[in-house]
Amino acid sequence: MLFDTFRQAASATGTVKRFRQEGWLFPRRIRRWIGKGDLIWGPLEHCRVIQILHNPRYAGAFVYGRTRGAYRQGRKSFGLKVDRENWQVLIQNAHPGFIDWDEFERNQATLKQNLTGFGRDRRGSMPREGVGLLQGRIVCGVCGARMGVRYQVVGNKLEPYYMCTENPVRRAGKPCQSVRGSAIDEAIGSLLLECRTGRSRRRASCRRRDIRARQTGRRSTSEPTCPSSL
């Protein structure tokens, strides 16, 4: 049913919305703690759709080496995704699948096209085109997720709106909030300019003291030393 719905919706978000509208539940197995191994049914979420669509096992393939372990000093180990060309084993048609390999490839292409609109792996990356000053930098005060930016023409001028898309995308719900960005951008821009101006004034003051000290051959003990970071 999930693959049939994705064929019609052509997006993971659209698939989640269809499941919510129809009241369909989806199975999930508990992986740890109490009830480990039990199968439960609940609302379908965006992350689960992505996991299934990216998993070649559902296309009848046997794969080994999709992830590899990595370590950071002072932290627990974690898994990193490996590009397909670097998988150690890939055997197509190893067992009956829910879809064939051609459809799996088409699904990957569709997901890649949709990735430009949303994606956890794009967070903190270079902002896209637009006038929004804080693209990719604002965090929702309701749910804690990073907010996206949408543009709307207001009075023949393109205005940014910062919108939390976490709930609509992942659970087919309503946005936590949407805020007009012009006032926020103006306030943050003024704050940055003020900080920059104050730093420039401190740097100029330090330079003047250094010049006087070189001219007199000594530095007054009452004058603070200029930090190298200024």
Span 108-159, pLDDT tens digits: 999 998 876 554 444 444 455 566 778 778 888 888 888 888 888 888 878 8
Structure tokens at 92: 């197509």
Whether residue 93 contacts residue 60, with contact meaning beta carbons closer than 8 Å, is answered with: yes
Question: Cα–Cα distances in Å, from 135 out to 145, 148, 201?
Answer: 13, 7, 29
Question: Cα–Cα distances in Å, from 81 out to 113, 153, 201?
Answer: 19, 40, 48
What is the rounded CA–CA span in Å between residue 89 and residue 81? 15
Instruction: Please give the residue that has the higher pLDDT: either 9 or 222.
Output: 9
User: Does the structure show a pLDDT above 50 at 35?
Assistant: yes
Span 77-108, pLDDT tens digits: 778 889 999 999 999 999 999 999 999 999 99
Question: Cα–Cα distances in Å, from 108 out to 39, 56, 60, 95, 181?
Answer: 28, 10, 15, 20, 34
**14-18, 43-47, 161-165, 216-220: least confident range:** 216-220
Q: What is the pLDDT of residue 122?
A: 47
Span 195-207, pLDDT tens digits: 777 666 677 667 6
The model's pTM is: 0.62
- The phi, psi pair for 30, rounded to 5°, reads -75, 125
